[in-house]
């Protein structure tokens, strides 16, 4: 049977994904009709990315699942017209990219690299940075990406604490969980990395009170989602020195408006939502495998729980 698969994303994504999806679906032994404009009542699966044309899922009466190309699903999970299973993206390229971004920016702050890049004024100032074992890192969010980053940072020698919604045991790191575990997790956050999803429970998780729980002069890195941070509280903590520097990849409004105070702040680094990009080749394989599983009556992988919102 030929499966009708709708690709619902921004037009430029179609150019990027068409060939990888076609070959990954064929490799799974699936006979498909893949397109961007199929009659809704004929569609069997929807491959989805934010900012595309699809808002109303009601006409897709036959569709069996929506497969997100993004790990973060906050733009779709609360859509009241979505009544079928939704999967999120878990993909090697995404995980490896995030690990590299997190390790790179952590080492920048840990080693004080900026002072050598920007401080070449003829002064010989041989102050050595501490060893990794003396710089504590806390990762808020201990899922696919948080755990991968924790493993990489631990290998370098950083003592890592992770915080999640449900209790966990992860070898080599200190695990804290739930609202009652947040204060202890932040108390050792010389560097704090946000890898939480954007849900009602995580909005403004870094605010005036919780930033105050962190050691003075801590570094904040947010590759998670913009709403995790109360921006006013962060700017004020940067001004008082409670936070030494914030490296931010994600924002409430993207692209970050040109007049946003983050751009001009000397202790903020903005990266344009590039911490981890879904790579078409590997992501297409994840999507194809899930469609094959669904057709074989096996459970979908990486299912989103609409109640939890991630
Ligand atoms: P996962 O779903 O695998 O992990 C989410 C983690 O957050 C889990 O450990 C979960 O806890 C924890 N969590 C969720 N809600 C709470 C809460 N209320 N309190 C405490 N912990 C909570 O997601 P990923 O690791 O794959 O991705 C994380 C986020 O990274 C994505 O949602 C997305 O927003 C962002 N992202 C950003 C990218 C970028 O380029 N900047 C690229 C890809 C993703 P538990 O384990 O108990 O469920
Ligand atoms: C994602 C992202 O969620 O790129 O995949 O932010």
Q: Give the domain range for residue 26.
A: 3-91+278-295
* pLDDT at residue 121 greater than cutoff 90: no
Q: Tell me how far the alpha carbon of residue 72 lies from the centroid of ligand 2, in angstroms.
A: 5
Q: Whose CA is nearest to atom 4 of ligand 1?
A: 143
Same domain, 68 and 176: no
Position 54 confidence tier, pLDDT thresholds 50, 70, 90 = very high
Given 92, 252, 273, 292, which residue is catalytic? 273
Residue 301 lies in a domain: no
Residues facing residue 246 across a β-bridge: 220, 268
For 16-46, what is each residue's pLDDT tens digit?
999 999 999 999 999 999 999 999 999 999 9
Give per-residue pLDDT as tens, 234-268.
999 999 999 999 999 999 999 999 999 999 999 99
Same domain, 61 and 86: yes
**Measured between alpha carbons, how far is 192 from 109 in angstroms, rounded to an integer?**
11
Vertex 206: Cα angle to 204 and 211 (nearest 5): 145
For residues 166 and 235, membership in a common domain is answered with yes
Three-state secondary structure call for residue 138: strand
Asked whether residue 309 is domain-assigned, the answer is no
Residue 115 lies in a domain: yes
* pLDDT for 119 beyond 80: no
Q: Looking at the predicted structure, is the pLDDT value of residue 115 above 80?
A: yes
Q: Which atom of ligand 2 is nearest to the CA of 273?
A: 6
Do both 75 and 107 map to the same domain?
Answer: no
The pLDDT tens digits of the residues spanning 178-203 come to: 999 999 999 999 999 999 999 999 99
| Together in a domain, 105 and 12 | no
Average pLDDT in the chain:
97
SS3 content of the chain, % helix, strand, coil (to 5): 35, 15, 45
Q: Is 225 a catalytic residue?
A: yes
Residues 80 and 157 reside in one and the same domain: no
pLDDT above 70: percentage of residues in the chain: 100
Same domain, 38 and 157: no
pTM, two decimals, is 0.97
Residue 10 pLDDT class (50, 70, 90 cuts): very high
Give the side-chain half-sphere CA count within 13 A for 300: 21
The answer to whether the beta carbons of residues 228 and 198 sit under 8 Å apart is yes
Burial class (CB in 10 A: 0-12, 13-18, 19+), 96: middle
- Asked if residue 89 has its Cβ within 6 Å of ligand 2, the reply is yes
* Residue 300 within a domain: no
Under the banding of pLDDT at 50, 70 and 90, the label for residue 67 is very high
Is-catalytic flag, 105? no
Q: What is the pLDDT of residues 146-179, one digit of tens each?
A: 999 999 999 999 999 999 999 999 999 999 999 9
CATH of the domain at 189: 3.40.50.720
pLDDT (0 to 100) of residue 118:
87
Q: Please tell me the total count of domains within the chain.
A: 2
Residue 190 lies in a domain: yes
Query: Would residue 201 count as lying in a domain?
Result: yes
Does 97 lie in the same domain as 202? yes
Same domain? 109 vs 231:
yes
């Amino acid at each position: 049977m030929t499966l009708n698969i709708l690709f619902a994303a921004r037009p430029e994504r179609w150019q990027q994904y068409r060939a990888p999806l076609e070959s990954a679906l064929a490799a799974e032994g699936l006979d498909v009709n893949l397109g961007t404009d199929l009659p809704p009542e004929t569609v069997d699966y929807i491959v989805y990315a934010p900012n595309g044309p699809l808002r109303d899922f009601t006409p897709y009466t036959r569709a069996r699942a929506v497969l997100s190309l993004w790990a973060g699903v906050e733009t779709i999970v609360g859509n009241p017209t979505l009544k079928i299973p939704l999967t999120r993206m878990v993909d090697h390229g995404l995980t490896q990219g995030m690990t590299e971004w997190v390790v790179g920016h952590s080492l920048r702050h840990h080693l004080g690299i900026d002072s050598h890049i920007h401080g070449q004024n003829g002064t010989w100032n041989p102050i050595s940075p501490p060893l990794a074992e003396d710089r504590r890192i806390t990762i808020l969010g201990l899922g696919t990406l948080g755990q991968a980053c924790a493993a990489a940072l631990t290998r370098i020698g950083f003592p890592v604490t992770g915080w999640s919604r449900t209790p966990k045991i992860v070898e080599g790191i200190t695990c804290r969980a739930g609202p009652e575990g947040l204060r202890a997790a932040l108390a050792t956050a010389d560097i704090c990395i946000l890898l939480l999803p954007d849900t009602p429970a995580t909005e403004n998780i870094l605010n005036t009170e919780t930033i105050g729980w962190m050691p003075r002069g801590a570094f904040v890195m947010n590759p998670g989602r913009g709403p995790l941070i109360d921006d006013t509280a962060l700017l004020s903590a940067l001004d008082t020195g409670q936070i030494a520097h914030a490296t931010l990849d994600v924002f409430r409004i993207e692209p970050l408006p040109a007049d946003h105070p983050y751009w001009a702040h000397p202790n903020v680094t903005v990266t344009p939502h590039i911490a981890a990009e879904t790579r078409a080749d590997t992501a297409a394989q994840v999507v194809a495998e899930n469609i094959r599983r669904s057709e074989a009556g096996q459970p979908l992988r990486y299912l989103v729980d609409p109640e939890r919102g991630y």
